[in-house]
């Protein structure tokens, strides 16, 4: 969160690959950042992972899916091929209550469902 007396710097944001296509933001003003600080981008885009590569020795990122509880249950049924007879409308709650790593759809610990984010 910005502080009233905090100094801002003209900044460009790049991914780690040293590739000219890895520019995320051309110009924005940000406070001083430190290793371990988080930057959150909502709706980053459909091709952020599809365009990822292991160029320059970089590993593909771990992917986390976030969804409501009812949607999570539906995904579990689909995964086990035990499709429900009728699909109900998912919970319209704006807060995510479940998430999982791409490497497996096992329900994660409650810490993954936290709605707080370090910025």
User: Would you name the residues annotated as active-site residues?
Assistant: 18
Pair of tokens at residue 95: 């807060």
Q: How far is CA 14 from CA 21, 52, 80, 85, in A?
A: 9, 14, 40, 47
In the three-class reduction of DSSP (H, G, I as helix; E, B as strand; rest coil), residue 27 is classed as strand
**Closest CA relative to residue 115, chosen from 97, 90, 92:** 97
């Amino acid at each position: 969160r910005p502080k009233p007396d905090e100094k801002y710097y003209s900044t460009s944001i790049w991914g780690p690959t040293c590739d000219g296509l890895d520019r995320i933001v051309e110009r924005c003003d940000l406070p001083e950042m430190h290793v371990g600080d988080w930057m959150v981008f909502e709706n980053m885009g459909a091709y952020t992972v599809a365009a990822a590569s292991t160029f320059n020795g970089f590993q593909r990122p771990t992917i986390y899916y976030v969804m409501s509880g009812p949607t999570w249950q539906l995904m579990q049924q689909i995964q086990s091929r035990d499709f429900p007879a009728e699909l109900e409308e998912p919970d319209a709650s704006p807060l995510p209550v479940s998430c999982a790593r791409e490497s497996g759809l096992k329900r994660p610990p409650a810490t993954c469902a936290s709605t707080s984010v370090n910025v």
